């Protein structure tokens, strides 16, 4: 909540994305209540929380799918109000959605550029630049470990893991400022997760603000620099890597204060439990 | 664009993509079943009804196909986007009725009357589209409602305003002759009268095919139908695209109505466009390879479907059979097309042609 200026940005670390008192309501029910957090450029911020704690709402707001009702969202110090995910992508915020946002009947390259197609020519004749799109798709997919791909084959012909790679490669291609990764619903193999982890770390090294939404506290602790804990739409904790170890993070995720209270009450009644 | 600066994680350098063989790509075309069907029907009726191959037969077939194809192409685009429009036929009749009333009763000249009826048709399209987009109701039901409202309004309205459900004698109107060439020009070859509607049909089909496969709009249409949530998440303008497509089918309806109005110089409220009812356009689009679930289809296929329909219809007439057989044949064709579409789609996972 410190600076609210469009002055030249300080060197390191710069806030990539900043949420100030962000409130989002589903009807009357607040999905997010006055959430404030800074997602630094060049850092990996992990968002953790139970189901329904507001993780995906944060993702929707950051990537432009939902508009916030109150508060401010700042991108590079400038307040923004996205009207569409396209605007978010235009300022360099790219997202890996949990459903991967892949259209099964469209070809791989059409999926890759869906909503942000490269074109050539002037308006009445403006058309897709298909060769460039195919070439970029093949190169970007090779970078996440999928080689020998026919960009004209439909996404439905890809294996599940390749579809995840498509979503990640697309986000890497379009994310110039921030990368938001909402963990895919489909299980990821360890090999692929390793590749994605490498890609995420490379993105951090490039100075992107990286946001990872995950249910796995051990993975979060492995790659995260900062941990944003959400509970019932509120910020329950904003910790750095120095504050917590993986076990604490697990405990915090698993039920937070209620679990601690339960542990205290049980150990008070049965002291032998504390020795376990 | 950081992807360009990342190291390559894979062990292999990017290989040049292997293009699929010509045969596989041809088989993957959504219009394939329609093309096969067309060849079969043409061969059959070339023997059963030799009159079909005369200039007269050809002109009649092409004219039927053109009227059907103009609506069919627009409906095909809408089907690809996952929506239905039952109201094309009735928009055609209602808009031409409006043109006729403006000319006959209000005394307007032809061009402004046509412009106003086009605006009216577009506004029906906007209402259809906005209702579907905002309420999330199935477009089948929304356009069914529009169909009923327009049908009732046009009949009762023309009765009340003009005192009859038939408005005619338009060829005396001011500026009428100037639109005749545009909408009902023709060329006589032998005993066949080839109408300008064929050119409209071919031009619109070509334009729609180009738009569907080569533009951002086309990509948005595919995504709206096949993966609406993904389209939302990637910022594809789903709502705008859907409303635009409903406007497109409404304008196609207006064009059909205008072509038949100019040809006959009269219009019958509650009638049909020539011989077509509203459902025919959907049948043609499905025969042409569109999936009812959206996300897949072809405008070329719809054009081929329209030709198939027309050949079968005129073939039955020229072969001297009871024309009522046609509907049964159409149903059978539709069924075959549905099964063929499904089989082809499952056999080759390679669905899109690019």
Cβ-proximal residues to B275 (8 Å cutoff; 6+ apart), any chain: B64, B313
- Min Cα–Cα distance to chain B from A274, Å: 47
Q: What percent of chain A has pLDDT over 90?
A: 46
Residue B351 has pLDDT above 90, yes or no: no
Q: Residue B230 and residue A173: Cβ atoms within 8 Å?
A: no
Provide, as residue numbers in chain A, all residues whose Cβ is less than 8 Å from the Cβ of B7: 143, 202
Q: What is the pLDDT of residues B193-223, one digit of tens each?
A: 899 999 999 999 999 999 999 999 999 999 9
Greater confidence, B147 or A255? B147
What pLDDT does A259 receive? 56
Fold held by A15-244: Rossmann fold (3.40.50)
- Min Cα–Cα distance to chain A from B11, Å: 8
Domain ranges of chain A: 15-244
Confidence of residue A262 (pLDDT cuts 50, 70, 90): low
Q: Residue A114 and residue B236: Cβ atoms within 8 Å?
A: yes
Over residues B256-262, the mean pLDDT reads 92
Q: What is the pLDDT of residues A111-120, one digit of tens each?
A: 999 999 999 9
What pLDDT does B345 receive? 66
Give the closest of A142, A152, A206 to B5, CB-based.
Answer: A206
What pLDDT does A255 receive? 57
Confidence of residue B59 (pLDDT cuts 50, 70, 90): very high
Query: What are the C-alpha distances in Å from B141 to residues B85, B99, B144, B172?
Result: 9, 27, 5, 40
Over residues A230-249, the mean pLDDT reads 84
- Domains within chain B, CATH numbers bracketed: 29-343 (1.10.3470)
Cβ of A153 under 8 Å from any chain B Cβ?
yes
Give the closest of A87, A105, A134 to B17, CB-based.
Answer: A134
Q: Residue B222 and residue A110: Cβ atoms within 8 Å?
A: yes
On average, the pLDDT of chain B sits at 86
Residue B5 has pLDDT above 90, yes or no: no
Confidence of residue A134 (pLDDT cuts 50, 70, 90): very high
What pLDDT does A187 receive? 83
Residue B52 has pLDDT above 80, yes or no: yes
Q: Is the dihedral of CA B280, B209, B204, B219 positive or negative?
A: positive
Maximum CA pair distance of chain A? Answer: 79
What pLDDT does B170 receive? 83
pTM to 2 decimal places: 0.87
Residues 49-88 of A with CB under 8 A from B: 63-65, 84-88
Residue B12 has pLDDT above 50, yes or no: no
Over residues A53-82, the mean pLDDT reads 91
Cβ of A130 under 8 Å from any chain B Cβ?
yes
What pLDDT does B175 receive? 85
From the number of C-beta atoms within 10 Å of its C-beta (0-12, 13-18, 19+), residue B293 rates as: exposed
């Amino acid at each position: 909540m410190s600076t609210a200026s469009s002055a030249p940005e300080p060197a390191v670390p710069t806030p990539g994305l900043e949420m100030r008192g962000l409130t989002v309501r589903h009807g009357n029910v607040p999905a997010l209540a006055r959430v404030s957090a800074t997602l630094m450029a060049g850092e990996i911020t992990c968002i953790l929380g139970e189901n329904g704690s507001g993780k995906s709402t944060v993702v929707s707001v950051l990537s432009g799918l939902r508009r916030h009702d109150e508060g401010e969202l700042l991108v590079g110090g400038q307040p923004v109000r996205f009207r569409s995910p396209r605007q978010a992508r235009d300022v360099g915020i790219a997202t890996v959605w949990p459903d991967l946002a892949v259209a099964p009947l469209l070809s791989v390259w059409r999926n890759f550029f869906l909503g942000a197609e490269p074109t050539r020519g002037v308006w009445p004749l403006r058309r897709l630049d298909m060769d460039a799109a195919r070439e970029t798709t093949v190169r970007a997919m090779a970078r996440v470990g999928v080689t020998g791909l026919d960009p004209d084959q439909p996404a439905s012909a890809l294996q599940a893991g390749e579809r995840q790679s498509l979503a990640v490669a697309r986000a890497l291609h379009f994310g110039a400022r921030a990368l938001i990764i909402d963990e895919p619903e489909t299980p990821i193999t360890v090999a692929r997760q390793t590749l994605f982890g490498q890609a995420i770390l490379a993105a951090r090294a490039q100075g992107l603000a990286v946001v990872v939404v995950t249910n796995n506290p051990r993975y979060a602790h492995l790659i995260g620099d900062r941990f944003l804990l959400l509970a019932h739409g509120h910020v329950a904790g904003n910790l750095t890597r120095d504050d917590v170890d993986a076990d604490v993070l697990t405990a915090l995720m698993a039920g937070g204060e209620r679990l601690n209270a339960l542990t205290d009450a049980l150990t008070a009644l049965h002291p032998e439990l504390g020795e376990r | 664009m950081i992807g360009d600066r990342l190291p390559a994680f894979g062990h292999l350098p990017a290989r040049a993509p292997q293009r699929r063989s010509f045969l596989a790509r041809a088989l993957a075309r959504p219009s394939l079943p329609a093309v096969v069907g067309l060849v079969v029907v043409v061969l059959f009726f070339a023997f059963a009804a030799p009159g079909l191959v005369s200039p007269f037969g050809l002109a009649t077939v092409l004219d039927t196909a053109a009227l059907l194809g103009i609506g069919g192409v627009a409906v095909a685009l809408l089907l690809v986007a996952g929506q239905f429009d039952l109201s094309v036929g009735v928009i055609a009749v209602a808009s031409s009725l409006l043109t006729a009333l403006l000319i006959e009763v209000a005394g307007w000249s032809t061009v402004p009357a046509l412009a106003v009826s086009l605006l009216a048709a577009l506004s029906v399209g906007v209402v259809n589209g906005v209702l579907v987009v905002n309420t999330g109701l199935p477009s089948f039901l929304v356009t069914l409602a529009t169909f009923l409202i327009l049908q009732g309004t046009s009949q009762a309205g023309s009765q009340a305003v003009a005192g009859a459900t038939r408005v005619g004698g338009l060829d005396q109107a001011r500026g009428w002759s100037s639109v005749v060439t545009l909408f009902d020009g023709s060329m006589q070859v032998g005993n066949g009268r080839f109408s300008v509607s064929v050119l409209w049909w071919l031009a619109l089909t070509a334009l729609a095919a180009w738009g569907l496969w080569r533009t951002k709009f086309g990509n948005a249409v595919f995504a709206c139908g096949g993966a609406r949530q993904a389209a939302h998440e990637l910022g594809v303008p789903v709502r705008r695209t859907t409303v635009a497509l409903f406007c497109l089918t409404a304008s196609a309806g207006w064009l059909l109505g205008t072509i038949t109005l100019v040809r006959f110089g009269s219009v019958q409220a509650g009638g049909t466009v020539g011989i077509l009812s509203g459902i025919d356009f959907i049948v043609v689009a499905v025969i042409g390879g569109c999936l009812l679930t959206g996300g897949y289809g072809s405008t070329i296929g719809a054009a081929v479907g329209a030709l198939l329909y027309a050949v079968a219809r005129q073939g039955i007439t020229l072969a001297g059979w009871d024309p009522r057989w046609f509907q049964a044949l159409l149903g059978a064709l539709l069924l075959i097309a549905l099964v063929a579409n499904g089989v082809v789609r499952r056999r080759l996972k390679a669905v899109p042609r690019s």
